[in-house]
Structure 1
Amino acid sequence: MEKLKVKKSPMQRAKMTLSVLVLILVAACSKVEGEAGHKQRVQDGSKIQIVSTIGMISDVVQEVGGTEVEVTGLMGPGVDPHLYKASQGDIQKLDDAEIIFYGGLHLEGKMTEIFEKLEKRKPTVAVSSNIDPSVLRSGADAGGSQYDPHIWFNVKHWVSATETIRDTLSSYDPANAKKYEENATKYIAQLNELDEEIKSRISEIPEAGRVLVTAHDAFGYFGDAYGVKVMGLQGISTAAEYGSKDVSKLRDYLVENKVKAVFVESSIPTKSMEAVIAGAKQMGHTVTIGGELYSDSMGEPGSDADTYIKMVRHNVNTIVEALK
């Protein structure tokens, strides 16, 4: 049976044509904007505007992105990402960014909700996203989220983060993908050398003395990767409060196992560890502060911990010299 053909008015035909054009424009929008953006950058020498959260991520993005990127970090030296609250200025920076990189695994606490909204509008990438969950440490048992977010303390995990950053930049800016690949390859080679260096240095500490006691439980991946027993006064997140029982438990462990040094962290007040040291002293055991470690942030510009690699090396040297 022949279908009845409905004749459309000129107005209806115009509306349909307009709708089709809109769909075509929307479908092509991202590609056109990306190509136009790249051409504009080539012409005026501008760079891809990237915002990252912690300093360690900013450092890797700069290493991989090289001269093609301009990186703005939200959290500077001494800043605790677990407790960080985004300012209005931060929101503006995130809004203006072309790409956003963050740690993920709830490292940035409540800011996670902001990232989830932004990822619908622009590349917003957790650098931990490609790490196999089976190799992640549990965080729930230590006052944190499902997983421990401090992945940078296992250098192999940081290799994965570097690859994620490389792939994101290459996808966004294919014209410079070769540069990003070359930069990442060089940087990953440095990370692999660092991994071997850590193993060699830790071997200088007598096995019985490989006990790392810190203000909060941030070094778990480090302990698992390099054969060090790790204990923290606070949980994985500094948002988890500690009490007198936690202080007493850690004090007793230090006394019973004759641990001679504990470590403070650059992003956490020292008073928590001072309470543990004082408690051990009352029980006749002297514990010293072995030095300051960098856990959730890097050092000030110009210091011996102002890059990821230098930060890790500083921590390892501090730990080894205090415990060996």
Structure 2
Amino acid sequence: MTSVQKVLSRTVSGVTLGVLVAGWLTPVQAAELPAVKAVASFSILGDVVRRVGGERVAVAVLVGPGGDAHVFQPKPAQAKQVGQAQVVFSNGLGFEGWISRLLKTTQFKGQHVVVSQGIQPLKGAGDAHGHDKHGHGHKAGAADPHAWQNVANVRTYVANIAQGLCAADATGCDGYRRNASAYTQELQQLEQDIRSAWEAIPAPQRLVITSHDAFGYYADTYGVRFLSPQGVSTESEASAQGVARLVRQIKKEGAKALFVESISDPRLIEQIARETGLRPAKEGLYSDSLSAPGTEADSYIGMMRYNTRVLTSAIRAQ
């Protein structure tokens, strides 16, 4: 038995040795290997990168489904993934406060693509005078990082992702552009469907209470009012005064739709429920994270459709 046959024999026996010599692969087998190692900062972005990259791109996600990117702390294995990646994708707009430190610590030498580049960010829940209009204790006027809640912004994400992948892998550029074009068409249909879902609901009834201020772009784009006790980051603490003010506003305006988000501590919403008499919706919302694989909100498009269905259903049930 030759040395090559011995290696292959041990591999078949269950010992994963990897590809030691590129010449052992046929051209077809070599073409099937991912050409690019990429890292995406959180699950929503990871899904979008996979749609654009297709099979040529192996995507590792740092903050997986159910994780909270606001408070993420990388593990050594994740830092190693970043250090070995050819391209790292992050949302930007202050969403990943840890990303610059991580790239520096891992001595990352590849491309860092900020997918929100070119998007005009909304500000946090501040009014025209720079005051916190809900009294929730977070810094008014700071950039709201949750730009993906407006589907049109994700079309910009897609264009930036395709450009970043083309820069990292010129050979695959035509494929990335085709994937981006096809995905953009799906996003355009998604946006039309979201607008249609809200058209039947009168504007005064479109009032929703959520855990933290993550739906500003959705509100601005689709004509829905969201009130929340926390600011744009789950790191911010809701003040007792702010919660009391929100409770009074809920009672005054007769809000009926109360939601817990998948990444949030439910106790704050439960407190508001006790003080207002509202019952939280049975189905929660997904703001900063996808749901587990195989469930309804396990992709960006699935998440947006799920949230829209849950929101409109809750309001219609009033």
**TM-score between the two structures when normalised by the length of structure 2:** 0.82
Deviations 1:297-323 (A, max 9, x none): 000000000000000000000000000
Deviates more, 1:72-81 or 1:156-165: 72-81
- Equivalents in 2 of 1:119, 1:163: separation in Å? 27
- Equivalents in 2 of 1:213, 1:299: separation in Å? 20
Deviates more, 1:213-222 or 1:141-150: 141-150
Report if aligned partners of 1:118, 1:124 keep a CA contact under 8 Å in 2: no
Partner of 2:72: 84
- Equivalents in 2 of 1:140, 1:249: separation in Å? 15
Partner of 2:264: 268
CA gap of 1:117–1:160, structure 2 versus 1, over 3 A, is farther
2:33 pairs with one of 46, 68, 76: 46
- Equivalents in 1 of 2:170, 2:263: separation in Å? 38
**Higher-Rg member (1/2):** 1
- Equivalents in 1 of 2:100, 2:212: separation in Å? 21
Report if aligned partners of 2:125, 2:231 keep a CA contact under 8 Å in 1: no
Report the CA distance between 1:91 and its aligned residue: 0.9
Report if aligned partners of 1:104, 1:112 keep a CA contact under 8 Å in 2: no
Whether 1:311 and 2:303 are equivalent positions in the alignment is yes
Partner of 1:279: 275
Partner of 1:302: 294
* Structure 1 letter corresponding to 2:117: S
Aligned length: 278
* Structure 1 letter corresponding to 2:312: V
Partner of 2:124: 139
SS in 2 for 1:216: coil
- Equivalents in 1 of 2:240, 2:274: separation in Å? 13
Report if aligned partners of 2:83, 2:108 keep a CA contact under 8 Å in 1: no
Partner of 1:106: 94
SS in 1 for 2:260: strand
Partner of 2:252: 256
Report the CA distance between 1:202 and its aligned residue: 1.1
In structure 1, the gaps of 5 or more residues are 1-39
Deviations 1:177-216 (A, max 9, x none): 1111110000000001000100000112221110121000
CA gap of 1:297–1:41, structure 2 versus 1, over 3 A, is farther
CA gap of 1:254–1:88, structure 2 versus 1, over 3 A, is same
- Equivalents in 1 of 2:28, 2:272: separation in Å? 55
SS in 2 for 1:146: coil
Deviations 1:152-171 (A, max 9, x none): 00000010001000011112
Greater fraction helix: 1
Whether 1:94 and 2:82 are equivalent positions in the alignment is yes
Report the CA distance between 1:44 and its aligned residue: 6.1
- Equivalents in 2 of 1:43, 1:76: separation in Å? 29
Partner of 1:183: 179
- Equivalents in 2 of 1:311, 1:41: separation in Å? 36
Partner of 1:289: 281
Report if aligned partners of 2:290, 2:298 keep a CA contact under 8 Å in 1: yes
Whether 1:215 and 2:211 are equivalent positions in the alignment is yes
Report if aligned partners of 1:261, 1:290 keep a CA contact under 8 Å in 2: no
* Structure 2 letter corresponding to 1:109: G
- Equivalents in 1 of 2:188, 2:267: separation in Å? 36
Deviations 1:125-177 (A, max 9, x none): 1111232xxx3111384636831110100000010001000011112211111
CA gap of 1:253–1:291, structure 2 versus 1, over 3 A, is farther
Any residues of structure 2 matched to 1:54-69 within 5 Å, and which? Answer: 54-69=42-57
CA gap of 1:208–1:119, structure 2 versus 1, over 3 A, is farther
Any residues of structure 2 matched to 1:242-253 within 5 Å, and which? Answer: 242-253=238-249
Deviates more, 1:152-161 or 1:199-208: 199-208
Deviations 1:97-144 (A, max 9, x none): 11111111111122333246779721011111232xxx3111384636
SS in 2 for 1:164: helix
Partner of 1:322: 314
Q: What is the percent sequence identity of the aligned residues?
A: 31
Q: CA RMSD in A?
A: 2.1
- Equivalents in 2 of 1:41, 1:104: separation in Å? 38
- Equivalents in 1 of 2:49, 2:152: separation in Å? 17
